[in-house]
Amino acid sequence: MIIEYIKVKNYRQIKDTEYTFKKGINVIFGPNESGKTTLFHVLVSLLFDNPKKINKAYKDSLRSWGEDIYPYIESRIRIKNNQGETHVINVVKDYNKGKILIDNKEIESSDEIIKSLGISKDLFLKVSCIYQNQVSLIGDNSSNLQKSIFDIISTRENMNTNIVDIIKNVEFMIQDMQKGQMRHANKVGILKKLDNEINELKDDLSRKTEILEKSEKHTDEIIQKSTKSEDIQKKINEIREIIDNASKAQDIQRSLNELDSKIKDIELKITRATDIKKKLLEVQKHLNREKFLRIDKAQNEILSLTKTIEIREQDINNIKNKKEKIDNLKLKPIRRNPVIAVIISILLVILTVIFSFLGYLILIAVFIDILFIGIYLRFIDYHKLSAFKNPVDSDLLSVTEEYEKAKKRLKDILQEFDVESTKDLFKERSILSSLNEEYVKLSATLSGILQDSKDENDVSVNWDAAIEKLERKQAEFFVQKKENSGLLNDDLKYFLNIDPLILRRKKIELEDLEIEQAMLDDEVIALDTRLSDLEVTKEQIEDLKDTIDLKENEKKFHEKKLKILEVVLSNLKYAKEKSFMDVTLDINELGSSWISKLTNSKYTKIKIDDKNDFSIYSKEQQRYVNISENLSAGLVDQIYLLSRFSILNSVMKGEGSGSKESMTRESIMLLDDPFVAFDYNRLSLIKELLLYLSNFNQIFLFTCHDSFKDLI
């Protein structure tokens, strides 16, 4: 078989790529994580996968990351039949449709491809597929080599396990089956075990048959009570249906009533809100809030100016009256200053006191003082001395200016508000204040009505939006009402009008039936318990009889199996000797021809003896050395590779030696960078060996090392 071409879609790292291969060595070169190992697995899937039968988890593991489409593999393969004729087939494996096509014809499995490969899947994976580090891991311990090679050569074509292990397993199975038959054993074999089980089952059957007769009398009573309980359950279901329907109808009607109430409430809110909104707009039309605020702000100043005008007008009148009064008295200017009179009076008193000390005319002095004071008081009242502050024209002018200034400011304010008097201004303020209070009151009322419909994030109230929101909410309630009205069909309307007294009686009847049913169920459980205490039913008796029959048939089967195993054991031993003889001959021939080259003639022969011991001939020691002795890891690697190649040679050729001419079928080898630990000299010999093997094998070498670039 030669794979000439392959097209891959959505297979792990490979999205959509085509590859062309040649006969001989195909080196797939690239760095790590570039998809080499993925292509390795693509080739294995091409040969062996059956998209019809693989499980979903495996298919999911194959598809590219992030893709929903499963892989698609298309290939062109050249095969050679037994007559040596070659022809080309086109193979398609579609994991999405679960199909295998060969030349556009659907087939059931990959058996035809595997048959063309000339080797079974198990043997191919053990011999022709070598993975990364597989060789070096074998070389870490020489005992691994003998075990690995022994495992491979024990697996022949069309067999899925080690033939030696099969022989051991068959011998063990025969011994295990016969335990306890000839002599006593702690753990008996299957035949003795079945004898014991059959005898125990027969004893158990006899005992339970007697018990069954005692239990049959309970069965009729259980059936009668169960039937009565079922009849009661039917009545309970009927009554529950009536009660549930009535409750459901009431719930729907209650919901409709609540929706009607909500719709009316919203309708009232919308009507009130619309009316208040109209009033607000009307008030807002007449309310000049800016003017109201300006009047309110100027009010204190107007009151202050009015008070000032009144006071200054009174001051002007007082000054004029004082001046007129003083002018009428025709007093000297001194009269305008009563302080002088007081000073003179004090001087006279002082003189009088001095004269009194001198003793001269004291009485005359006192008389003169009294006379002076009396004459002075004749013209002025002493207690009104303040009235003698004679106002001058400048005082009158100052007060008059302040008076006129206040009157002018007041006039300017009145002109500013376009009124003739403060009375008119305060009247207008009163009107605006009344409108403002009405506006605030209406806004508060409207806000209270639309509180639930305002936008929480909207500081300024958008009444139109709030009213519109109410209308939408009302529409939603209308829709809910329509939906709920649809639920209340004619059948439910009947239950809606059912008499509450009848419902109450039905509930009482339901409780009585449930109590009666519970009592019947308890009685049935008690009967079942007594029946189960007897631990026997007809089914158990029948099961015991069936079990005894099965055990007896099983015993016959194992007795027959024992005879077959004895024949198989004899044939397997013969097949083992024949199989080992053929394979070891090829390992001895091909391995010996290359071990000398790989070891610079230090070792010249490889052989597997009659005892299946693996050994090589040491030229220095002049003897065969068993591989269990301390051989170098590199030598173990080489022996392992030669053994695998020799086994492949043995499988793929006809009778004869391991020469090139003896190879009659072409095979495939998949090598996933298995030579990373080899040194330069060993790599050169491995290349030579690969070139030799490529004469009768199509080799796929996946590598990231420059050492193999010359093979590309």
Task: For 26, list phi and psi in degrees, rounded to 5.
Answer: -120, 110
User: Three-state SS for 587?
Assistant: helix
User: Three-state SS for 616?
Assistant: strand
d(CA 307, CA 526): 109
693: burial class by Cβ within 10 Å (0-12, 13-18, 19+)? buried
Q: How many C-beta atoms surround the C-beta of residue 528 within 10 A?
A: 13
Express the helix, strand and coil content of the chain in percent, nearest 5 each.
Answer: 70, 10, 20
Which amino acid makes up residue 517? Q
Per-residue tokens: 391? 């106002």
Q: What is the pLDDT of residue 364?
A: 65
Look at the chain and count its residues.
712
Query: What is the spatial order of strands in the sheet that 623-626 belongs to?
Result: 603-608, 614-618, 623-626
d(CA 365, CA 64): 145
Mean pLDDT of residues grouped by 10 in the chain (712 residues)? Answer: 93 92 91 86 91 88 88 92 82 92 89 78 80 60 53 50 64 76 75 83 82 73 85 89 85 86 86 82 76 77 82 83 70 52 71 66 64 59 45 71 83 79 78 79 79 50 76 85 79 76 86 88 80 70 84 82 76 64 65 73 74 75 75 70 73 48 66 78 81 86 84 77
d(CA 375, CA 386): 19
Per-residue tokens: 313? 């007008």
Rg for the chain, CA atoms, rounded: 63
Q: What counts of helices (H) and strands (E) characterise the chain?
A: 19, 13
Q: Which of 530, 518, 542, 525 is nearest to 218 (CA)?
A: 530
Q: What is the pLDDT of residue 361?
A: 58
Per-residue tokens: 218? 């309970």
678: burial class by Cβ within 10 Å (0-12, 13-18, 19+)? buried
d(CA 696, CA 468): 89
Q: What is the pLDDT of residue 76?
A: 95
Q: Which of 66, 57, 48, 58 is nearest to 10 (CA)?
A: 66
Q: Provide the pairing of β-strand 697-703 with 25-29.
A: parallel
**Which residue matches tokens 């004749």?**
378
Dihedral of alpha carbons 540, 544, 549, 554, sign? positive
602 within 8 A of 620, measured Cβ to Cβ: yes
Q: Which of 91, 250, 283, 221 is nearest to 520 (CA)?
A: 221
Task: For 80, list phi and psi in degrees, rounded to 5.
Answer: -120, 130
Per-position b or e across 45-73, b if 16+ CB within 10 A of its CB: bbbbbebbeeeeeebeebbbeeeeebbbb
The angle that helices 338-358 and 362-379 make with each other, rounded to 10 degrees, is 170
Q: Provide the pairing of β-strand 72-80 with 86-94.
A: antiparallel
**Domain with residues 1-118+668-712, CATH architecture:** 3-Layer(aba) Sandwich (3.40)
Strands in 515-559 per DSSP E = none
Q: How many C-beta atoms surround the C-beta of residue 133 within 10 A?
A: 13
Ramachandran area for residue 287 (φ above 0: left; ψ -120 to 50: alpha; else beta) = beta
Cα 283 to chain centroid distance, Å, stands at 58
348: burial class by Cβ within 10 Å (0-12, 13-18, 19+)? middle
The domains of the chain are located at 1-118+668-712
**Which residue matches tokens 């008081």?**
377
Q: How many C-beta atoms surround the C-beta of residue 594 within 10 A?
A: 20
**The 3-state secondary structure of 204-232, one letter per residue:** HHHHHHHHHHHHHHHHHHHHHHHHHHHHH
